[in-house]
Structure 1
Amino acid sequence: MSMDGPNTSSEEGFILVGFSDWPHLELVFFVFISIFYSLTIFGNTLIIILSRLDRRLHTPMYFFLAHLSFLDLCYTTSTVPQLLVNLSGLDRTISFGRCVAQLFIVLSLGGVECVLLVAMAVDRYAAVCRPLHYTTVMHPFLCRALVAFSWVGGLVNALIQTGLMMARPLCGHQLNHFFCEMPVLLKLACEDTGGTEANLFVARVIILVCPAVLILGSYAYIARAVVSIKSSAGRRKAFGTCASHLIVVSLFYGSAISTYLQPVHRYSESQGKFVALFYTVITPMLNPLIYTLRNKDVKGALWKVLGRGMDSR
């Protein structure tokens, strides 16, 4: 790694190493990531369209799901097109300005999803634990307020973390990653990052751990309510309404916590690239499948739309 002096990266930009460490795998990665990205675009766009076209999906659950799909579209698009260019060998560079912008966008969207998953947990809590008051509790105004709060929280989180990161002088211009991610940038810091890491840790606890605790707390109440349901059919229905969300929460928080809540000196750049590949490519592709394969309403809406298309011919 080049160590030409402080702030050399701001003058020259960065070289993204990507997966050039494994040149024999770059073509394989390019093909599979292209396929996964196409499926991500198709699946998430389909959920957004269906949630608007079918009146049965005009409920808080699908309102939040449509926003989650929009987030996944934005998140994967902020990194994957550049990764495909990197894998093709056409351009492995990124300017300092684009790198800062990418860092801010990724942190913003990740923070929004953290809070949005809490809003979805609140919705599931109301559906299972307060079914008679569900429509009153999950009022459209509250749903819109929760989404707005998610965006505000994500943007504030990104401003704080990006500001803390960019206040540190950076040495060198080579990033052993395929996009500008916080732990990799911290490794380029010319000075001791102990104070910055402590401040970043506090910010990450607020945006990652606190929402995770709220989600776990809501599901503790949900589990107690499900156990008290006498009929097995009722328990299966209650579990079915929450299983998809729990899977998405596990995928998202598992990868995010493993990346962002460990000290920088313990962060493995090689391992980090594959973990990042999971939450930037695989998870956004899986989310639509997780919800549609387990959800009769979404599958019914899909067949209804397809039926209209066939009838119009």
Structure 2
Amino acid sequence: MIKKLEGKWPLVWFGLVLWVMVSFALISGQPLTAKANIEKTTVKNESNIDLVKLQEKVFPASGYTFQVSWGDLGKKMVEDGVIDEKKLAQALTGKDELPQQFKKYLDDSDQKIELNQGNAQFWVDVLWGLGLANKNDILEKGEMMASGNASNFASTGGWTIGVKKPMDIYSKHTYINLSAGQQIMVEEIANGVYRPCCGNSTAFPDCNHGMAALGLIELMVSQGFSKDEIFKTVLAFNSYWFPGTYLDISYHFAKNNRDYAKVPAEEILSKTFSSGMGYQAVKKQVGEIQWPALKSFQGCGA
């Protein structure tokens, strides 16, 4: 009898070990692969990259002041019913009055555009209104009108902070005058600017961020800014609107020995990195980064 079992002892021991492992898993309530899964999904700063310094390159703590003239655009949009000041205040603060840091952009004092963590949502909303209401071929002849009806997109149907209905202001006001050459430039830039909430470029502004970016591009082109300056400015706005996205993208470049501050803004805003699909590919590579800034940062990504 002993001789018959001698060749089977390895199998017996294997069975006992397997039984113990399964029993432990059942008692603890954890699958056997739990530890492996955690190790795969929890990725910290493996490359010893200085996250604080990298954050400052993405969105500096002091914010930005751009040499873009806002003029009396805010006042005109309020007067035309594009923006309801009370609704805007409610959306931003929960109160009926806007604080002065926002209100100053709704008069005719011709403020320079300041961008920081505290006003990023304000600029999404106000530039959204500008892009939505300003008359432009992108809205009238582009993908927004492919079906003949542009009313069901998030950027149109989702506009709720105006006096008038969205389609009553859609491409109705000539707030920004563009020459034929400037219109071509707007379209070229818009086709190269993506946003991580979807796979569309700004030439198809079907969401609030896309419409806001379109308004900003139109404004800067009309004031004679170069393509490079416009791409850099749009990147700054996108970075405050989608902070986690651009922090991760900056980490991707740092990990590949590229200084984020020197990477062309046009490349960062391209489909490869800034589209929804592009960013997801980057995210898979970098994993979960514990960004100090995101503990208190209030972005406004979709």
TM category (shorter chain) comes to under 0.3
TM-score by length of 1: 0.24
Higher normalized contact order (CA 8 Å, seq sep 6+, divided by chain length) = 1
Looking at CA atoms only, which structure, 1 or 2, has the larger radius of gyration? 2
